[in-house]
Amino acid sequence: MNTALTKLTGVRYPLVQTGMGWVAGPRLVSAAANAGALGILASATMTTDQLRSAVREVKSRTDAPFGVNLRADAGDAGDRVRLIIDEGVKVASFALAPSKELIGELKAAGVVVIPSIGARRHAEKVAAWGADAVIVQGGEGGGHTGEVATTVLLPQVVDAVDIPVVAAGGFHDGRGVAAALCYGAAGVAMGTRFLLTSDSTVPGPVKARYLAAAVKDVTVTTAVDGLPHRMLRTELVASLERAGRVRALARAVRHAAGFRKVSGLSWSRMVRDGLAMKHGKDLSWSQVLLAANTPMLLKASMVEGRTDLGIMASGQVAGVIEDLPSCAELVDRVMAEAHAVLERLRSLDALPPPG
């Protein structure tokens, strides 16, 4: 299936496996890439040395194009941009809008730049700065999310920009791919669906919690880091929502110390990153400090398998996913479904008019 996304990135199918922290490592990314999708390596929870090693491991596992997701507000974003340029990575994706300068540096080196956005005005901004495409996540998507549904946000953005638009939030099968293409998208990005594959390194008990979840078991809360965050509803999430501000800030300080140890960042670098985050999202210092909760609480579940101590970011589609295929099986199934739906739509033109 040829779309503007496949032509831009060189992948076989208009599918993107998103860069999920602690989840989108070399094994999942290479499996997605070998299956014909665009695999995105998550780098926010890695040191630069770990990122370089992970990039090289993906390259050893696949010859297919893949990307790296970067934090645009990180103090070492420039170093990471130069790393992926040096390593010949095909695509750079961003969870937040990158600066015009970072976009220019990447494009000058031949790297495809695909920021993720959650509002029409953000898409217009990065398109004007030279982004090659955008991933548009509606409110159904997992992790940090907005309030506007994909079915409303997607056509807004498609109408607003002249670059390829990739739809995210609420997609898990071929019907969704066909629907997104009908809206004018060039492809679909999926996180939770790729997390729930046999190639994902997420521990079995955590995957079981996702598979057991109903649609109503996926909630949006601000209790983790002060921002709307979609995840599975658990006893831990309920306890975080009941906790007072003082307890929440004390917990955030502990998690900040833990994240500093895992990430290798100095306190001064974390403060600089906090300043960038505060300015970029117009957050209070309390919210910046609470943001230290996210990586450590995600690590507890996605790496250590502690469903009692960790959070499980999730799209609403977790409530309708029931199996753990390999990436190859998933991609083949999704694309077969998409082709079948599109063929049925084409057949409507051949029907005689009513009456």
- Per-residue pLDDT of 87-146, as tens digits, reads 999 999 998 889 999 999 999 999 999 999 999 999 999 999 999 999 999 999 999 999
Q: What percent of the chain has pLDDT over 70?
A: 86
Phi/psi of residue 3, nearest 5 degrees: -135, 175
Residue 174 has pLDDT above 80, yes or no: yes
Residue reference for tokens 């040096």: 86
Q: What is the pLDDT of residue 216?
A: 96
pTM of the model: 0.91
Least confident of 7-16, 48-57, 193-202, 258-267: 258-267
CA dist 293 → 174, 227, 273 (Å): 35, 11, 15
Q: What is the pLDDT of residue 275?
A: 60
Q: What is the pLDDT of residue 287?
A: 65
Domain map of the chain by residue range?
Answer: 4-201+325-348, 205-302
**pLDDT tens-digit readout, 153-162:** 999 999 999 9
Query: With contact defined as beta carbons under 8 Å apart, do 188 and 176 qualify?
Result: yes
CA atoms within 13 A on the CB side of 114: 34
Identify the CATH homologous superfamily for domain 4-201+325-348: Aldolase class I (3.20.20.70)
Q: H or E segment at 231?
A: strand 229-232
Per-residue pLDDT, averaged over 56-65, amounts to: 98
Nearest to 332 by CA among 116, 8, 15: 15
